[in-house]
Structure 1
Amino acid sequence: MARINFDLQELQAFVAVAERSSFRAAAEDLHLSQPALSRRIEKLETILGARLLDRTTRHVALTNVGRVFLERSRAALDELEGAMLGVSDLAAQLSGLVTVACVPSVAYYFLPSVLREFTAKHPRIRVRVIDEGANTALNAITSGRADFGVNFIGTQENEVDFKPIFKENFVLAMRKDHPLAHRKSITWDELSGERLMTVDKGSGNRLLIEAALAKSGRRSQNAIEVSHILTLLGMVEAGLGVAAVPQLALPLTSHATLVGIPLAQPRVSRTLGLITKHGRALAPAANVLYGMLREAGRAARQ
């Protein structure tokens, strides 16, 4: 087995050099430096115990062993590509149920856009969303009630794997007709005359805000407390006050009534991640949705 203990990248590097008869051209095709490409070829030849290429300063040619190995390498890569396409075709026929535990502020605007694409591609897969607070969503993963989750806590838990996908700041949600709605940013000190509303102390978002304010020697004075972010936004929309909320709690595009103004001094942020139970492999259907959410998180960072 030691004789075939090489990476796919090394095989691709050999084929590229053989087809282009040039280390420089192959390196450009593979977006590698020439020394890095040379190391891959040398490692492959060392593992195989045979020289595959004859090199001079101006010319690259296949050895007799190299010509035979090139044919077999091309066949192996073609077969691998066919296998991957077969898996893609199989994925289109996936069925079953995927359960996602997601904090409500993400479930309302971020998640639906991904689910729209997912259900269009995989109409036979049913999706169940557990849209609860951060701790409940985390418990759904550890207890096995959910396949995976989207959360901002879990990095310190031994039972879960946390893969960061997006860092978002908190903004001040207010009506567009509010006197401060034109501002590019607002400091916490400037909120002393505002009717500030918040989620209750059991919320992970509330804990993040209070921890950030405590570090800067500040305390928030809240006029109204509610249990959920969406209720909070309804209060803001009704003109009852303003509220500090995660950026993704507001639409990615313009809202008809509300606007979110960045908060500063201090800036409060949270890191969203995909969480899975440690050591538990995702089922194929769940893995597809997991990948789509990961890519959507990367796109949101750009």
Structure 2
Amino acid sequence: MHQIEFKDLAIFIRVAESGNFHEAAEFVHLSQPALSRRMQRLEAILGTPLFERTTRKTWLTPAGREFLPKARRMLEDFELSVLGIKEMATHQKGKVTIACIPTAAFYFLPGVIREFNQLYPGIRIKILDVSANEGLECVIRGDADFGINMAIAQYPEVSFTHLLDDPFVVCIRRDHPLAQQQDIGWSDMEPHKLITVSKDSGNRTLLDSALVESHVRLNGFYEVQHLSTSLGLVEMGLGIAVIPQLAMPSNDSSMLTCRPLRGAPIKRVIGVVRRTHTSITPAADLFINILLEKWSKP
């Protein structure tokens, strides 16, 4: 079945309003026979005559009169949709969706969002604060325009742009005995209960790998799903945690403090994750440019 062309709708509306094929043909820069063929094609698609004609006058059939307001709405919807795309392309409207690991969201995004909103106030921002694995899947599936994530195993579907290295630290209470030390080694932690995140976490994978390489076994006593929960347990005096520095609260009044790891340090590399073979939206590209300008180091 043939599809109705929007140019045919515009021609139909012009003929209906002018009541004259010749005048309509001049307006749309077509010969009158070409315009007549287009209207015959439109009538064939609709399965009914739209015009009645004499040598001097053209008027709408009952079907033509019924179709006219529908044609106007269809043409208006089309023009509005094109206008929406143009506005998005010129960064006046649209939405940017970011899949970001929670510990990085607060660190990286507020300043960038503030600057982006000042420049492009019509573009909405949606943040998916999810785990590293979930964030990667969101980017690969196209649920997010891009992600801020750890540099985990290489996937051909995505590319990675470095932002910063985030060292792991030992999180303790300010009144904990280990707080007297300038730094903390693995052996210093052996007598204490360790609070870890679940094994499917990218942070846990880095920690476990470092323990294996250092031939160390710690007393993993509590296991939680989120780093924020581990901070709460440390604050209650239930144990210590080895966490990325970005996860530490910035509030000076907190009971929590941290010390660097002595010996073989652990770090996670954080950056921007983008799909490799899919072009990014203009709005998302603008956001990434601001993000990289603000945070990426040469």
TM-score interval w.r.t. the shorter chain? 0.5 to 0.7
2:265 aligned to which of 264, 267, 272: 267
Compute the TM-score of the two structures, normalised by the length of structure 2. 0.65
Partner of 1:212: 210
> Alignment length, in residue pairs?
211
1:117-153 Cα distance to aligned partner (Å, 9 max, x none):
3334433221111111111100001100000001113
Query: What root-mean-square deviation, in Å, do the aligned CA atoms of Structure 1 and Structure 2 show?
Result: 2.3
Task: From the superposition, tell whether residues 238 and 200 of structure 1 become closer, same or farther in structure 2 (CA, over 3 Å).
Answer: same
1:144 aligned to which of 142, 145, 163: 142
Q: 1-side partners of 2:100 and 2:287: how far apart?
A: 13
Partner of 1:172: 170
Contact 1:92 1:121 in 2 (8 A): no
Task: From the superposition, tell whether residues 138 and 251 of structure 1 become closer, same or farther in structure 2 (CA, over 3 Å).
Answer: same
1:128-207 mapped onto 2 (5 Å cutoff): 128-154=126-152, 156-207=154-205
Q: 2-side partners of 1:118 and 1:217: how far apart?
A: 47
Q: 2-side partners of 1:269 and 1:121: how far apart?
A: 34
Residue 270 of structure 2 aligns to which amino acid in structure 1? L
Residue 227 of structure 1 aligns to which amino acid in structure 2? Q
Q: 1-side partners of 2:90 and 2:249: how far apart?
A: 30
SS at match of 2:178: coil
Partner of 2:71: none
Shift of 1:224: 0.8
The worse-fitting range, judged by mean Cα deviation, of 137-146 and 91-100 is 91-100
Task: From the superposition, tell whether residues 91 and 281 of structure 1 become closer, same or farther in structure 2 (CA, over 3 Å).
Answer: closer
Q: 2-side partners of 1:276 and 1:255: how far apart?
A: 38
Q: 2-side partners of 1:250 and 1:116: how far apart?
A: 23
Partner of 1:277: 275
Q: 2-side partners of 1:112 and 1:256: how far apart?
A: 22
Partner of 2:36: none
Task: From the superposition, tell whether residues 111 and 231 of structure 1 become closer, same or farther in structure 2 (CA, over 3 Å).
Answer: farther
Shift of 1:271: 0.7
SS at match of 2:296: helix
Residue 158 of structure 1 aligns to which amino acid in structure 2? P
Contact 1:210 1:220 in 2 (8 A): no
Compute the TM-score of the two structures, normalised by the length of structure 1. 0.64
SS at match of 1:109: helix
1:232-259 Cα distance to aligned partner (Å, 9 max, x none):
1122222222111111112467463322
Partner of 2:228: 230
User: In the alignment, does 2:274 pair up with 1:287?
Assistant: no
Q: 2-side partners of 1:173 and 1:155: how far apart?
A: 27
Task: From the superposition, tell whether residues 212 and 280 of structure 1 become closer, same or farther in structure 2 (CA, over 3 Å).
Answer: same
Shift of 1:273: 1.4
Q: 2-side partners of 1:96 and 1:182: how far apart?
A: 52
Contact 2:151 2:268 in 1 (8 A): no
Residue 232 of structure 2 aligns to which amino acid in structure 1? G
Task: From the superposition, tell whether residues 194 and 91 of structure 1 become closer, same or farther in structure 2 (CA, over 3 Å).
Answer: farther
Task: From the superposition, tell whether residues 154 and 192 of structure 1 become closer, same or farther in structure 2 (CA, over 3 Å).
Answer: closer
Partner of 1:46: none
1:25-64 mapped onto 2 (5 Å cutoff): none
1:29-71 Cα distance to aligned partner (Å, 9 max, x none):
xxxxxxxxxxxxxxxxxxxxxxxxxxxxxxxxxxxxxxxxxxx
Shift of 1:217: 1.1
Partner of 1:41: none
The worse-fitting range, judged by mean Cα deviation, of 273-282 and 248-257 is 248-257
Q: 1-side partners of 2:121 and 2:132: how far apart?
A: 29
Q: 2-side partners of 1:176 and 1:211: how far apart?
A: 28
Residue 292 of structure 1 aligns to which amino acid in structure 2? I
1:188-227 Cα distance to aligned partner (Å, 9 max, x none):
1100122210101111100010011101111332111100
User: In the alignment, does 2:118 pair up with 1:126?
Assistant: no
Q: 2-side partners of 1:140 and 1:157: how far apart?
A: 13
Task: From the superposition, tell whether residues 113 and 189 of structure 1 become closer, same or farther in structure 2 (CA, over 3 Å).
Answer: farther
1:69-128 Cα distance to aligned partner (Å, 9 max, x none):
xxxxxxxxxxxxxxxxxxxxx999632111111112212333334323333443322111
Partner of 1:249: 247
